[in-house]
Amino acid sequence: MDGRTAGWGSGLLGVIIFSGSLPATRVAVGGFSPLFLTSARAVIAAIIGILLLAALRQKRPEHRDVVPLCIVALGVVIGFPLLTALALQHITSAHSIVFIGLLPLATAFFGVLRGGERPRPAFWLFSGVGSLSVVLFALTHGGEASLIGDLLMLAAILACGLGYAEGATLSRRLGGWQVISWALVVSLPLMALLAAVSLPQTWSGITGAQWASLGYVSLFSMLIGFVFWYRGLALGGIAGVGQLQLLQPFFGLALAALLLGEPVAWSMMIVTALVVGCVAGAKRFAG
C-alpha cells in the first residue's frame, strides 16, 4: 500500500470517529456548560497525551514548532469544541452536522495558505459546489435553523480548517499523534483553569449518557480521531484527503437519528448526497 492510499484509509477512520462528535456534544451540553465541556475534554485528553509522550519518550518540539502548535490548539482544542458546544444550544446536532460539508473547503483553503499545496482549478469547482449547496441549505431551511447557531458553526468550521491544515503540515515532521498531544499540552494550563472555574454547581443531575458523551469527545474526538486524521492529511495531502469530510454528514446524520431520535429531513439527505457526490471530482483534481 503506497503512502497516498494509506493516507486516505487513515483519513477515513478519522472521519468515522469524528462523526460522533456533534451528536455526543449535543448530549453532553444537556448536563455540562459549553465552557466546562470544552475545557474538561481538553484536560482529560491532555493527561492521556502526556502519559503517551512520557511513556514513548518523545522529544520536545523545537522552538519553531511552538507557534504552529499554538495555532493547532486554538483551532481544534479550544475554538472548534467551544464554538460547536455554544452552537448546539441553538440548533440540533442533525442541522449542525450539515455544516461539516464546509470543512473540506476550509481545510483546502488553509492547506494552500499554510501547507503550500496547489490544487488544480477544477478542484475548487467541485469543492465549491459542495460547500455552496450546504450554505444554501442553511439559509433556506429556516425551521430548524438559528442565525446565532449558524454563525457559531461557521466560525467553528473556519477554526477547525485552520487547525487541521496547520496540524497536518506539522505532522509531516513530528507525527500525527505527537502533534495533537503537544497541542493539548500547550493548552493544558488555560483549559485546566477554565475547567476549575466552570465546574457544575451540582453533579447529581448529570445522566449516564451525558458522562459517556463527555468520555467520547475527550478520548475519541479530542485525541484518537486526530491520530488517524493528521496522519491521513500528512500522507495523502491536505486538500485531497480533506474532501473525505464530505462523508461525515452521512455518518453524523445517522447517529443523530439513531441515538438522539432527532428528525432528519429528506432535504438534509439530498444536500448531503450532493456534497458527497463532489468528493470524487475534487479528489481527482486535488493535485
The pLDDT of residue 246 is 76
Task: For the chain, state the CA radius of gyration.
Answer: 18
Whole-number pLDDT of residue 84: 87
DSSP code of 145? Answer: -
The answer to whether the CB of 119 falls within 8 A of the CB of 178 is: no
Q: Quote the distance between the C-alpha of residue 231 and its chain's center.
A: 14
Closest listed residue to residue 193, CA positions, set 86, 77, 40: 40
Residue 198 has pLDDT above 70, yes or no: yes
Give pLDDT, residue 260: 66
| Helices assigned H by DSSP within the chain | 3-18, 21-28, 34-55, 66-72, 80-87, 93-98, 103-115, 121-140, 147-174, 176-197, 208-216, 225-236, 238-242, 248-260, 266-284
Of the candidates 222, 238, 267, 271, the residue with the CA atom closest to the CA atom of residue 105: 238
pLDDT of 40-76, one tens digit each?
Answer: 999 999 999 999 999 998 988 889 999 999 999 999 9
C-alpha torsion angle, residues 188, 76, 28, 22 (rounded to 10): -170
The pLDDT of residue 105 is 81
Read off the pTM.
0.83
Q: How many domains does the chain have?
A: 1
Give the span between the Cα atoms of 228 and 209, in whole angstroms. 26
Give the Cα separation of 262 and 187 in Å (integer): 34
pLDDT digits (tens, 9 = 90+) for 200-258: 988 888 999 999 999 999 999 999 998 899 888 888 888 778 888 877 777 776 776 77
How far is it, in rounded angstroms, from Cα 149 to Cα 253? 17
Per-residue pLDDT, averaged over 101-109, amounts to 82
Range with lowest mean pLDDT among 10-19, 103-112, 160-169: 103-112
d(CA 255, CA 249): 10
Angle at 188 between CA 183 and CA 190, to 5 degrees: 115
Are 77 and 184 a contacting pair, CB within 8 Å? Answer: yes
In terms of residue numbers, what domain contains 76? Answer: 3-284
